[in-house]
Every structure is written in C-alpha cells, then in structure tokens.
Structure 1
Amino acid sequence: MDISGITGIDIRPDEPATVPKGNSKLGKEDFMTLLLKQLSYQDPLDPMDSAEFTTQLTQFSSLEELANMRQTLEDVLAFQQSMQNAAVTNLIGKSVKVSGDTTQLEGSASLDFELMSNATVAEATIFDAGGRSVATVSLGALPKGEQTHTWNGTDEDGTHLPDGTYTFSVTAQDISGNPVAVQTSSMGTVAGISFQDNITYLMLEDGRKVHLNEIRTVEERRI
C-alpha cells in the first residue's frame, strides 16, 4: 500500500533519501527510512514538534494497517478462487444447459428453449453445419417457460440425417399473432475444466468451451 503527500520531512540535501526510480509514491519502507533520516538529523536544541511527530507516526500506523488489510483481502480472494476451482470439478460428467443454439444429433436430438409468454403456435427449424435448413418441426401451442422437445433426426423427406452437431431456431406467436420472444439453449456433457487467466471454463464433450456464467441448469448426464 502506497501513500503520497507526506509533509514535514526535512532531509539534508547532501544525503537525500530517494524513492526508487519509476515510483512517485512512498511505500511503508520508504516512509520509515525518511522518518529515521529526519530523526537522525534533528537539532537537539530544536527538536521536531511533538504534534508533527505524532502525526507522522499515526500516518505510518495507518499505512501498516492498510497494507495488512490488503494482504488479508488478497488471501481471502485466493482462497475463494481455489474453493471454486475445487467445487467446479464436480461438474465433470454432468449435463449442463447453456445459452446457445446448438444440438447434438445421436439418433435423436434435444431442442431446449424458453418462451417469454404463452404461444398458440411454435415451430423449430433445424440447420446443418453449412447453415442450410434441413428440417422443420411443428411444436404446436406452448405455455410460457422452459421447453424441451425431441427432434427425431429426420429431414423434410423423412430421411434420417447423419449424427453430428446441428443448430436450430424457434419462432412462436401469441393469440393475437404477435411474435413471442424465445431464448434457445443447448445441452452438453462436461468433459473437463479449463482455468485460463483466473477464469474458469467448462470443456464440453462436443468441443465447446463455455464460461460458468453461461450455465442455466445442471443435471445428471442425459442418456
């Protein structure tokens, strides 16, 4: 912890106490050095004013307390980070729902989304890796809230598509024909954890890397 603006320090010009180059503020070691220098050059017949000396000692005491407080806070934050890192490893092998529009086809695929209000009609469109529409799924009338529907993996002609990663979108309308807001999400299984620059990421089996803030739900692995 640094302080600046210390006053009342009278150092002889022939033996200056300097602050390290590149540092325009005083640390507690610099402060003590200057204070000791000042005491060593006092005139016994004209000593430093006691009130001024007390003020400087008080400043040093406050500086020491602030430095100790900062170290304590840093220790607490480091402990919290280590506890989070240890706890998040329990997610390995679990299924997590994260914000996104991807779905993994393995015979069938899950379409997860949330409707912000009731819908009288809803429809999901499936896209392949090239962004081409390959299937449309009628979802009918749906209530407000979280929704999970299963796509059987077939295209418009009823042909079963190869397993892999697909994306999807959902459109919906209310009873008045107005569009209903939809937030899509996707499921994934946590295969590992990555710690990068003090940020924790989940590594999913399909290769995605997601931030902890993107997790919406956690559940046992879907079969």
Structure 2
Amino acid sequence: MTTPVTNNTPNTSTSTSTSTSKTSARTSLANNFQTFLTLLTTQLKNQDPTSPMDSNQFTQQLVMYSQVEQQLSTNDKLDSLISLSTNQSSNLAMSYLGKSVTLTDGTGQLANGSAVWTYGLDGDAASTTLTIKDANGTVVYSKSGETGTGVHSLTWDGKAMSGDLQSNGLYTLTVSAAAKDGTAIKTSVASSAKVTGVDLSASSPQLVIGSFEVPLSSASLVTN
C-alpha cells in the first residue's frame, strides 16, 4: 500500500497566495470606494446652484456610499472570524500531540501485527459482516461478527484473507448488520490510536498517526 507523505510544516506558499489574493481584493474594493467618494464630492462642488442635484438621486448615492463602507467592514470582520477559527482548530490539534485519541470514522491502526476496533449494534441482528479495507479502499479481510445488541470488539492480526501479512498503517472497518426481516441495524465503530504529529499545511488540521494522517474531526475522545 502507498504511504501518504506527511508534512508537519505549514504550506507557506499556499497561505501566502491566499493572503495576497485577499489583500488584492480588499485593495480593489477600497480603491473603488475612494473613487466613488471623489466623484460624489466633485459632483457636489460643481453642481449648478440654480439646479441642485435631485434629493432622491443624492439619497441613492449616499446609500451606495454606505453600502460600500459596510462591505469593507464586513470583509474585515469575516477575515477576523476565519483567522480566529483557524487558530482555535490549530491549537486544539496541537493539544492532541502525544495523546491517544478515539477515532469514530472506522479508521484503525495496524501496528506490530495487531489492530483493534470496537463496534456496536443498536439491536439484535440475524447477521453481521465485518469488512476491513486498506488505504486504497481495497477489501483485505472480511468475516462474520457478533449479532447481539451492545458493544463488541475485533482484534485483527493483519493477515489478509489470502494469508498474506499486511503492512503497518491505517485500515478502515465497516460493519453491516441486518435483522431477521432484513431491516438494517444501526452500527458504530471506534478505535484508539496515538497522535505522533500534527499537519497544519492543509485547509484544516490533520492528526498524524505513524506515517498516516486523519482529519481532526475524526477524533472524538482524547486520553493521556
């Protein structure tokens, strides 16, 4: 299987490009605002005293002036909110470094010939199927699971159905269960893994587990 490249250094070229784009857009809007203000002022200075600007037209131009000003202010506030949200996510991700997290997206880590998941059934099932896929989405292992309501565990020795030992890394467990009448039963999957690094180069923080990465949103519980 292919090992994703891990980069814990923020992508400065991407962030610089984004910042430059925002600055350019704001500069353009500010220039339009100044041009509008200059034109309005010039128009007022040079209007015919015997035939002043229509009050309705003047009011409409003042409204336009106000709207441009509000747009500039709104853009500033949105940038501040986005920056604050990004910083909070980054700080949260950094706090996970060196700790064990519970992953709830089905992801589990195979290391030293063992991967452990827990899975839950919301009701008694007539049949339950456990399927493990590698990072490429290829099914490497499948078996029948427990059928009783509640939480169960699965320990996989890393061997595919062919008997070949799979390489260490992240694998995904999916659980499907059905009642006697064929109705699907709600299931859940969880696993535990240790965070060895944090990647802040993407649009949202990624937790590094071994040589792989998972989204920060996949972690629901943190323990020492």
Aligned counterpart, 2:221: 218
Q: Does 1:83 align with 2:88?
A: yes
Q: Distance in 1 between matches of 2:185 and 2:45?
A: 79
Instruction: Determine if contact 1:194/1:201 at 8 Å carries over to the other structure.
Output: yes
SS in structure 1 of the partner of residue 102 of structure 2: strand
CA RMSD of aligned residues (A): 3.9
The unaligned stretches of length 5 or more in structure 1 are 1-22
Instruction: Determine if contact 2:33/2:65 at 8 Å carries over to the other structure.
Output: yes
Q: Specify which of 183, 200, 207 is matched with residue 205 of structure 2.
A: 200
Instruction: Determine if contact 1:100/1:186 at 8 Å carries over to the other structure.
Output: yes
Q: Distance in 1 between matches of 2:158 and 2:51?
A: 97
Task: Summarize the alignment of residues 44-63 of structure 1 with structure 2, pairs less than 5 Å apart.
Answer: 44-63=49-68
1:194 CA drift (Å): 1.6
Instruction: Determine if contact 2:106/2:174 at 8 Å carries over to the other structure.
Output: no
Q: Distance in 2 between matches of 1:43 and 1:35?
A: 14
TM-score where L is the length of structure 1 = 0.62
Task: Summarize the alignment of residues 1-223 of structure 1 with structure 2, pairs less than 5 Å apart.
Answer: 27-93=32-98, 94-100=100-106, 102-106=108-112, 108-119=114-125, 122=128, 124=130, 133=141, 139-144=145-150, 146-151=151-156, 153=157, 164-165=168-169, 170=175, 172-175=177-180, 180=185, 182-205=187-210, 207-215=211-219, 217-220=220-223
Structure 1 residues 115 and 39: alpha-carbon distance in aligned structure 2, compared to 1, 3 A threshold: same
Q: Distance in 1 between matches of 2:62 and 2:84?
A: 33
Instruction: Determine if contact 1:101/1:169 at 8 Å carries over to the other structure.
Output: no
How many positions carry a matched residue from both structures? 188
Instruction: Determine if contact 2:125/2:177 at 8 Å carries over to the other structure.
Output: yes
AA matched with 1:208: F
1:98 CA drift (Å): 3.6
Instruction: Determine if contact 2:175/2:189 at 8 Å carries over to the other structure.
Output: yes
Structure with greater contact order relative to length (CA < 8 Å, sep ≥ 6): 2
1:115 CA drift (Å): 2.5
TM-score where L is the length of structure 2 = 0.62
Structure 1 residues 64 and 188: alpha-carbon distance in aligned structure 2, compared to 1, 3 A threshold: same
Q: Distance in 2 between matches of 1:59 and 1:155?
A: 68
Structure 1 residues 83 and 128: alpha-carbon distance in aligned structure 2, compared to 1, 3 A threshold: closer
Q: Distance in 2 between matches of 1:80 and 1:162?
A: 39
Larger Rg: 1
SS in structure 2 of the partner of residue 95 of structure 1: strand
SS in structure 2 of the partner of residue 188 of structure 1: strand
Structure 1 residues 147 and 44: alpha-carbon distance in aligned structure 2, compared to 1, 3 A threshold: same
The structure that is helix-richer by fraction is 2
